Structure 1
Amino acid sequence: MNPAPATTARPAAILAIILASYVMILLDNSVIFTALPSLQADLQLSTGELSWVQDAYTLVFGGLLLLGARAGDLLGRRRVFVFGLVVFSVASLLIGLAPAGWWDRRPGDPGYRGGDRRARLAVPAHGELP
């Protein structure tokens, strides 16, 4: 004898949640790829160096996706999903509220510490591996 499930599945709600999550991923990707020309101009990156930015983003995204899936298996999918939505929303809010240009200090500006911006951002000089 099978006991009745405690909750009934709501396919429309599940579909809405999946679609909303996918839209958030698409927005996140569009922000990264929209910023690439600005990154290239501001940091004087070549096309090869710019591909490292894309590759690094994709690699970190894939690694965190695997980590999130495993955490969902261990801790519960709903709990990990809600935690991920909260972290993503808070991070997006903080990025949106951040003052523009606070990281771009020039010699003579208050707070300038010197050094090459590429070195501070750990961008390879000519696109090769260390």
Structure 2
Amino acid sequence: MSFRSTPPGDGDNAYAIAFYAGQGAVATNIGAGGSLDVQVVVRRGDYNANGTFNLSATGADYQVLFAANGADFSSTMFARTTVLPATFAGGGTDFTEAVHEIGILGLAAQGGSLTTSDFVFV
């Protein structure tokens, strides 16, 4: 299901990061614009010893998700925050769509933050 009003800007470096602070959380835009395409999804929680991830608002870790080849995820920030926030709550649909995953262990517990300037697509 796509909620685009304009053609996708895959790889254009004008994008939003959808941040989910835990299970059931509505996306927070840590990018530069309310309706931008989403190229990075960050979910907060805890990685288990077996590599699985549990969403948690008090988790110590970040799970960073990317679509194939730096492409946009299928829905915009506007869809995630305004049109159908419950559909995207917790970022579960993004996890299913993601092709690449990076685990950043301990950063959330240390109060670290991520912004669009932390990611460069080449």
TM bucket, shorter chain: under 0.3
Structure with more relative contact order (C-alpha pairs < 8 Å, separation 6 or more): 2
Tell me the TM-score normalised to structure 1 length.
Answer: 0.24
